[in-house]
């Protein structure tokens, strides 16, 4: 995996990144469970949806990542 240096990073434009990347979130220490964990955006299953749909929905809900901007 290649790291993007600060000078090469786009400014608030994730679509400009042309290499594969992985997104993790840091859970708040104020939560009841899994405090402070580093994790994938993920939540509850709604209506028996597939894992890919859960990941896309939760990523949008938690960090406003548009599903159209994601390649699985």
Where exactly are the structural domains of the chain? 21-69
Residues 4-15: tens digit of each pLDDT: 455 555 465 665
Q: Taking the model in full, what pTM does it have?
A: 0.55
CA distance 47 to 70: 22
Spell out, as residue ranges, where the chain has pLDDT lower than 50. Answer: 1, 4, 10
**Cα angle: 51, vertex 52, 53; to 5 degrees:** 90
Which of these, 40, 41, 39, 4, lies nearest to 19 by C-alpha position?
4
SS3 37: coil
């Amino acid at each position: 995996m290649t790291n993007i240096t600060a000078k090469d990073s786009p400014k608030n434009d994730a679509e400009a990144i042309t290499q594969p990347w992985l997104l993790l979130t840091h859970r708040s220490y104020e939560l009841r469970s899994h405090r402070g964990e580093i994790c994938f955006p993920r939540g509850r299953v709604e209506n028996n949806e597939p894992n890919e749909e859960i990941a896309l929905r939760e990523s949008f809900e938690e960090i406003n990542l548009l599903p159209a901007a994601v390649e699985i």
